[in-house]
With several copies, the nearest count.
Chain A
Amino acid sequence: MIDKRKKSIEESLDGLLKDGVTLLIGGFGDSGAPFELMQGVLTAGFRDLTIVSNNAGTGDRGIAALLEAGLVKKVICSYPRSSGAYVIERMYKEGAVELEVVPQGTLVERIRCGGAGLGGFYTPTGIGTPMAEGKEVKIIKGREYILEEALFGDIALIKAAVADRWGNLLYTKASRNFGPVMATSASRTIVQVCKTVELGCLNPEAIVTPGIFVDQIVEVRADNEF
């Protein structure tokens, strides 16, 4: 029987983390960010992490907490600047963390490429800008494009609203953001959900992430109610 449900955050992460792994972390700001899973990563304490996420944390929790604890070697994101992003701002200025800033559409497409088994793609985004530096430029049908390569993670940590034991997922409103793509592009995908339901309860037409992309589910009763 297929049952991807785990009893706790600890169990869901058990044996997967080690020094130097690349984590894909869902969320746009706080919306869709898997805070409880990130807390589990903090507790585990492995170092030299590479974090791929849209933002780089605000306040003292989530990615900011991982940074502050000195566990992060590199952040690949599109928008580290935010109200309250003082940890990444300080560590960036101190040179205490590597930062790779990627246009958001390129970031999500690179992750999608990894999950789709593709090697890379040509995007017009960034032509003539610092984003093109050191990258191959090709003219296709008269237009300039930059080659961007696939980005694949060791572990994806995402948040969803509802799951069944096969790992089929629904999300809430705009918290969906990077979740469906990140789920496809890591060796292991771990999902914290607000609720689990019996197999067959989810409408097969409305499932957003089919369970094939999900390895482990852990229920975290959050402030979001369904």
Chain B
Amino acid sequence: MSSNKKKREIKGLTRNQIAWRAAQDVTDGSYVNLGIGMPTLIADYVNPEKEIIYHSENGLLGMGPAPSSQNEDPDLINAGKLYVTLKAGGAYFDTSTSFCMMRGGHLTSVFMGAFQVSESGYLANWSTDDGILIPSVGGSMDLAIGTKDVRILMNHVTNEGKARIVRECTYPLTAKSVVSRIYTDLAIIDVTERGLMVCEIVDGLDFDELQGLTDATLSLANNWSILKIPEI
């Protein structure tokens, strides 16, 4: 984790711990899309007493966990092209219907990765525009613009230690003013009308240190707390 490289040894969250924390915020009865990568891990940590209907952009609602290896079906995959299952009550549909759900605001929440989030909730998560990665947008723009509640999971800084939470995105945008909450290895930050409000910080890191790792201006929420995660 990038935070390990800081002067003082701060124990940032692992990928699984970030996913665990995000999973606590998934509401019972909601329709949720989990982006490729870290967000996909969230489903493993949602309280099984909650009934969540997972959407996959390639045409599934009611997606279930990965099958056993004998039950893998090349026509039953998620948007990350990983094998999945379908729960009782699930449905298949075409891409047009799937994006009607996404762009039409029918999903409750989407959890996505990001390269950068700005203090106005602008999102950049599809292209680094560096000529290294071939530009690939997939469903990210439709998800970001269409979903009422867009939540981002990412490390607080890049592998090179650069801030990802920025005054203005320097990478190509995915969408403007869409992010509602950011989960990083160091903190949980809400995007509000009064700016970025820090709700939770990992133990051992103080607010000024967090601000030092952040390009955008942060505020500490009145009811902030220590970000507590079980060992996973």
Q: Do chains A and B touch in the complex (CB under 8 A)?
A: yes
Interface residues of A (CB under 8 A from B): 1-2, 28-32, 54, 78-83, 85, 88-89, 92-93, 99, 101-106, 108-109, 112, 114-118, 123-131, 164-166, 168, 171-181, 184-185, 199-200, 202, 204-205, 207-208, 210-213, 224
**Residue contact A211 to B99, C-beta cutoff 8 Å:** no
In the assembled complex, the Cα of A92 lies from the Cα of B172 at a distance in Å of 19
Q: Residues of B contacting A131 with CB < 8 Å?
A: 137, 141
B97 touches A210 (CB 8 A): yes
Q: How distant is the Cα of A127 from the Cα of B139 in the complex, in angstroms?
A: 14
Contact string against A for B residues 54-95, beta-carbon threshold 8 Å, 1 for contact and 0 otherwise: 011111111000000000011111000100001011111111
Closest to A131 in B: B141
Residue B159 at the chain A interface, CB threshold 8 Å: no
Q: Which of A92, A118, A212 is B31 in contact with, Cβ under 8 Å?
A: A212
The contact sample of 29 A-B pairs, CB cut-off 8 A, is A1-B29, A31-B77, A54-B95, A78-B139, A81-B133, A81-B136, A103-B141, A103-B142, A104-B99, A104-B138, A106-B141, A112-B100, A125-B103, A127-B176, A129-B141, A165-B89, A166-B89, A171-B92, A176-B93, A177-B94, A178-B95, A184-B104, A204-B86, A204-B91, A211-B91, A212-B31, A212-B61, A213-B101, A224-B75
Q: Is B145 an interface residue (CB 8 A)?
A: yes
Residues of chain A within 8 A of B137, CB atoms compared: 78-79, 101-104, 131
Cβ contacts under 8 Å, B107 to chain A: 212
Cα distance, A184 to B106, chains bound together (Å): 8
Q: How many A-B residue pairs have CB under 8 A?
A: 200
B7, chain A: closest CB distance, angstroms: 36
In the assembled complex, B203 has its CB within 8 A of some CB on chain A: no
Q: What are the residues of chain B within 8 A of A31 when measuring CB–CB?
A: 58, 74-75, 77, 81
- A108–B139 alpha-carbon span in the complex (Å): 11
Contact call A28/B104, Cβ cutoff below 8 A = no
Distance in angstroms from B170 CB to nearest chain A CB is: 13
Bound-state CA distance A204–B53 (Å) is 14
Q: Which residue of A lies closest to B106 (CB)?
A: A212
A128, A176, A185, A211: the one contacting B89 at CB < 8 Å is: A211
Indicate whether A129 sits within 8 Å of B89 (C-beta atoms), given known contacts A1-B51, A102-B137, A117-B146.
no
A123 to B102 alpha-carbon distance, docked (Å):
12
Q: Mark B101-135, 1 if CB is under 8 A from A, else 0.
A: 11111110000000000000010000100010111
Report which residue of B89, B140, B172, B173 has the largest number of chain A beta carbons within 10 angstroms of its beta carbon.
B89
Contact B142 A125 (CB under 8 A): yes
Docked complex Cα distance between A109 and B142 (Å): 11
B138 CB contacts on chain A under 8 angstroms: 78-79, 103-104
Task: Say yes or no for B175: interface residue by CB 8 A criterion.
Answer: yes
> Does the CB pair A128–B173 fall under 8 Å?
yes
Q: A31-B75, A173-B92, A204-B92 are in contact. Are A105 and B142 (CB under 8 A)?
A: yes
Task: For B51, give its contact among A2, A179, A184 (CB under 8 Å).
Answer: A2
Complex alpha-carbon distance, A224 and B62, angstroms: 23
- New contact pairs (7) apart from A174-B77, A210-B97, CB-CB < 8 Å: A28-B58, A78-B138, A88-B134, A103-B140, A128-B175, A173-B76, A176-B92
Please give the distance in Å from B112's CB to the nearest CB on chain A.
14
Whether A117 lies near B100 (C-beta < 8 A) is yes
